[in-house]
Structure 1
Amino acid sequence: MSLTDAKIRTLKPSDKPFKVSDTHGLYLLVKPGGSRHWYLKYRINGKESRIALGAYPAVSLSDARQQREGVRKMLALNINPVQQRAAERGSRTPDKVFKNVALAWHKSNRKWSQNTADRLLASMNNHI
């Protein structure tokens, strides 16, 4: 049976996590603390797996269903969606990696003596 937004809003957490199924492998996992997360269960090469689609209500029922269709298209092309997502994340070069933030912080502190600045920069280069 398909889920509705009204049914999702009325779900109450219990002592243990429980699943509420939609269709075609999509389900909502309700945790004891009250958080709700979308997952899609799928099979690829005979192995069952799942992929996280996001937290409810940030990801609505219709958004989760759209993501499910995208994943199903990948599966039809024999592409593992978890590996695809990992490859996409790995190929990103984020501006906010720790080293970049640390170097920006170092440049912004002009009050230091030259000795302190050099020592901190050397320490960052050795340990980051």
Structure 2
Amino acid sequence: MALTDTTIKNAKPKDKDYKLTDEKGMYLLVARSGGKYFRLDYRFAGKRKTFALGVYPETSLKEARVERDEARKLLANNIDPLEEKKSKKVQLIAETTNTFEAIANEWFEKMRSKWTGYYAEKKWGSLKKDVFPSLGAKPIKSITPGDVRAILDSIQARGAIDIAHRVKGICALLSG
């Protein structure tokens, strides 16, 4: 029998975890702690696996079914949904940790010991003032020449040509 919102809302915890089945391998796991979890059981490469579709009520029944259907499409294309989810998570982490500011900070820490204090502060100050406000949080791979050009134009507009050259060199070095 397919799940309904009413069935899910009325599901109460028992002494043991139990399942309320939906369709196409999906079910709601009602934990004895009271948590309600949408799951999908499937087989891939001869092994039984369970894919988490979401937690009720943060994930609605409709959303869980959409997620289930997407997972089943991956399976139909011989792709393990768990592995796909993991790779997307790794990619997201890489994109968020490889921001321009993070890469610049790593580079600066490596180079700092080779420079005088004044020179290091000048370089870092240029980045903090002119580059980080617009590019700092951007993933390094998504930065375009147009992004850098806009920063250089604004620096040159205030007459700081030497700073523009310094920033251009740093940006070219970091975005590689």
TM-score normalised by structure 1 residue count: 0.71
In structure 1, what is the Cα distance between the partners aligned to 2:40 and 2:75? 12
Residue 19 of structure 1 deviates from its aligned partner by: 0.8
For 1:118, the equivalent position in structure 2 comes to none
Residue 45 of structure 1 deviates from its aligned partner by: 2.2
In structure 2, what is the Cα distance between the partners aligned to 1:48 and 1:14? 26
Residue 34 of structure 1 deviates from its aligned partner by: 0.7
Residue correspondence of structure 1 range 90-105 to structure 2 within 5 A: 90-92=90-92, 93=94, 94-95=96-97
Amino acid at match of 1:32: R
- Larger radius of gyration between Structure 1 and Structure 2: 2
In structure 1, what is the Cα distance between the partners aligned to 2:47 and 2:33? 30
What are structure 2's unaligned runs of at least 5 residues?
106-176
For 2:111, the equivalent position in structure 1 comes to none
For 1:12, the equivalent position in structure 2 comes to 12
Residue correspondence of structure 1 range 46-85 to structure 2 within 5 A: 46-85=46-85
In structure 2, what is the Cα distance between the partners aligned to 1:7 and 1:89? 32
Amino acid at match of 1:26: M
Amino acid at match of 2:64: A
User: Percent identity of the aligned residues?
Assistant: 40
Q: Which moved more, 1:2-11 or 1:84-93?
A: 84-93
Paired residue total: 97
Residue 46 of structure 1 deviates from its aligned partner by: 2.3
Matched position secondary structure for 1:83: helix
Residue 47 of structure 1 deviates from its aligned partner by: 1.8
Matched position secondary structure for 1:34: coil
For 2:44, the equivalent position in structure 1 comes to 44
In structure 2, what is the Cα distance between the partners aligned to 1:4 and 1:86? 30
Structure 1 segments of 4 or more deviating over 6 A? none
Amino acid at match of 2:12: K
Residue 20 of structure 1 deviates from its aligned partner by: 0.7
| C-alpha RMSD of the superposition | 1.4
Q: Deviations over 1:93-126 (max 9, x none)?
A: 335xxxx6xx8xxxxxxxxxxxxxxxxxxxxxxx
Amino acid at match of 2:24: H
Higher normalized helix content (fraction of residues): 2
